[in-house]
Amino acid sequence: MRKICIVTANRSEYSRIKTIIDAIIEHPALDLSVVATGSHLLEKYGNTIKDVKEDGVRIDHQIYMELDGNNLCTMAKSISVAISDLSTYFDNQKIDAVIVMGDRYEALSVAVAASVMNIPIAHVQGGEITGTIDESIRHAITKLAHIHFPANEKSRERIIRMGERPERVFSVGCPGTDLLLNAPQYAREDVIMRINNKYVKDIESKIDTFKPFILCIQHPVTTEFGKNFDQIQETISALKKINNFQLIVLWPNIDAGAGDMALAIRRFQHDCKNNVFFMKHASHDIFVNLLRHAKCLIGNSSSGIREACYFGTPTVNIGTRQQYRDRGKNVMNVPYDRDAIYQAIEHQVGREKYEPEFLYGNGSAGEKIANILAEIDLSQIQKRNTY
C-alpha cells in the first residue's frame, strides 16, 4: 500500500484538496497522511483546522511554521521552519509520495523538503499563469515535481513546454471544482441566516437576510510589498460609495503585507455604516453559497476567476494578483484606482448574472488523481528535462 502525504496550510487551499483526501481514503491501494500547518493553526485567521477536523479528516501532524510580522523576511523564514519539520516527518513516516497544491510559499516548503529527500512529488494546479511571486513559486514547484495534475489543457501544454514529460502530465481538472459542484445549495436567505447564527455574536450586527449583498476578498500582493495599504484603501474608498447593497468583507490571507491591509480594514470597520460586515473565515458550504448569491465579487482572490465562473457571478478583479490567469466573461479587470473600481462595480451590479462557464474541470478530479497515484511508476525520480 502506498503512503501518500498531503500538507494543508490554509482555508482556500484545503477546499481544493478535500476531494483528493476523500478519494485517497476510499482507495484500497493508498494510505493517507495529513499534515496541517500555516494559517490553519492560527486563531487570528479563524483557526480553520477545526473545519478540517469537523469534516472527519484525521490530522497526523501539525507544524507551527508562521513567524509573526507579515513581512517578506518572516515569510521567507517561515519557509525554513516548515522545511526543517517536514523533512523529519517525511523521514520518520517513510512517505512514498507527496501531493503539493498550487503556488503558495507553504507549498514550496513541501516541495523543497520532498525533492531533496528523493520523495516523488505530485503537483496539482501547475502550469497556470498569474503574475506576482505565486508565478515563480508555481513554476519552481513544477520543476521539482515528478507527476503533474494541471486543471485544464492550456496548463498541461505549458507544463510540457517547460520540459516535463507528457506521459506524466495529466489534465484532470481542478479538485476545488469537485467540491464546488457538490456543495449543498442554500437559498440566499438561508445562507445569511446560517452566517448570523454561526459567526455573528452581536444581534445588532446581524446581516439582513433579504437585502442583496456584495462580497469582497482582497489579499496582499507580495511583489508589491509596501503598497498594500494604499491599494486596499483604493478599494475601500470605492466600497464607501456603495449604498444599495450590503457588503460582506472577508479577511485577507497571511502573506507579507497582510498587517497593513488588516489595519486599513479595521479602520474601515470602525468607520463603516451598518451595511458592512466582516468575517475572518467562512466554512466551505457557506462560502460557496455566498459566491453563488453575491450580486458581485470584488477583490483579487482566485475565487473570482476559478469558482465564480461556474455561477456566472459578476467579478471585479483588482490589480495584478490574477492578471494572467485564464478567466471567463464574468470578470472585469481594473487597476488600483477608486474611480475605476467603483465604475466597474456599478456596471457589474447593474446587470444580470453571466452564463456559467466550466473552465476548470467538471467535478471528477479527486478520483482521477487518486487512481493515477495508485498505479503510476514512482521510481522515476530523476528529472530528464528537455526544452
pLDDT for residue 307: 93
Overall average pLDDT of the 40-44 stretch: 90
Overall average pLDDT of the 31-54 stretch: 92
pLDDT for residue 70: 79
Q: How far is Cα of residue 232 from the mean position of the Cα atoms in its chain?
A: 19
> Binning pLDDT at 50, 70 and 90, where does residue 12 land?
confident
Place of cell 444599495: 244
pLDDT for residue 338: 97
Q: Looking at the whole model, is its pTM more than 0.85?
A: no
Contacts 24+ apart (CB under 8 A), 19-24: 19/175, 19/178, 19/179, 19/365, 19/366, 19/367, 20/99, 20/124, 20/175, 20/365, 20/366, 20/369, 20/370, 21/57, 21/366, 22/366, 23/366, 23/367, 23/369, 23/370, 23/371, 24/370, 24/373
Q: Which domains does the chain have, with CATH numbers?
A: 2-173+364-375 (3.40.50.2000), 185-349 (3.40.50.2000)
* Average pLDDT taken over every residue of the chain: 92
The pLDDT tens digits for 79-126 are 999 999 999 999 999 999 999 999 999 999 999 999 999 999 999 999
The pLDDT tens digits for 263-296 are 999 899 888 767 889 888 888 899 999 999 999 9
The span from the CA of 365 to the CA of 23, in Å, is 10
- In this predicted structure, the answer to whether residue 209 has a pLDDT above a threshold of 70 is yes
- In this predicted structure, the answer to whether residue 376 has a pLDDT above a threshold of 80 is yes
The span from the CA of 201 to the CA of 223, in Å, is 37
- Terminal C-alpha separation, the chain: 35
C-alpha angle 105/117/369, rounded to 5°?
65
pLDDT for residue 387: 59
The span from the CA of 295 to the CA of 293, in Å, is 6
pLDDT for residue 204: 61
> Binning pLDDT at 50, 70 and 90, where does residue 363 land?
confident
Instruction: List beta partners, residue 201.
Output: none
> Binning pLDDT at 50, 70 and 90, where does residue 206 land?
confident
Q: Is 305 exposed, middle or buried (0-12, 13-18, 19+ CB in 10 A)?
A: buried
